């Protein structure tokens, strides 16, 4: 597994922007993704990137508002969040598919084996 550390969460007003960062303890060609989870609900895949090709996937709820990107030199994956809405409020988690195993698609949490501790995003109306 790989160690992941998120940062960049905070509080903003609706329409504002935040950039989340996820620093990995090591780096290789792998799927990395951002998920979010509202208490009492399932973890939702927000955006994913394959670091080998930079292919990206997004949930419909964040398309054209969020952008996932990578900086291989810094072992870092970013999530740029623009036009934030109150419904985007929750904890955001970085994940990596490091070991392998069953695969359910880039936005399905079951295929990821390494997780960060999360960073809180709060959007006020």
Residue 68 has pLDDT above 90, yes or no: yes
More confident of the two residues 100 and 22: 22
Residue 61 has pLDDT above 90, yes or no: yes
pLDDT band at 30; cut points 50, 70, 90: very high
Cα 46 from Cα 35, distance rounded (Å): 5
Cα 97 from Cα 78, distance rounded (Å): 16
Q: How many CB atoms lie within 10 A of CB 70?
A: 19
Chain centroid, CA 31 distance in Å: 11
Residue 1 has pLDDT above 90, yes or no: no
Residue 100 has pLDDT above 90, yes or no: no
CB burial string 104-114: b at 16+ within 10 A, e below: eebbebebbeb
pLDDT at 111: 95
Query: What mean pLDDT value characterizes the chain?
Result: 96
- Summary count for the chain: helices (H), strands (E): 0, 11
């Amino acid at each position: 597994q790989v160690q992941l550390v998120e940062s960049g969460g905070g509080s903003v007003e609706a329409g504002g922007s935040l950039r989340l960062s996820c620093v990995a303890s090591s780096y290789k060609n792998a799927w990395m993704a951002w998920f979010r989870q509202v208490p009492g609900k399932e973890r939702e895949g927000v955006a994913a990137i394959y670091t080998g090709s930079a292919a990206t996937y997004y949930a419909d709820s964040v398309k054209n508002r969020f952008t996932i990107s990578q900086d291989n030199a810094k072992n870092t994956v970013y999530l740029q969040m623009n036009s934030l809405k109150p419904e985007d409020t929750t904890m955001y988690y970085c994940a990596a598919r490091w070991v392998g195993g069953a695969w359910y698609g880039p936005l399905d949490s079951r295929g990821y084996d390494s997780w960060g501790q999360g960073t809180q995003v709060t959007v006020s109306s």
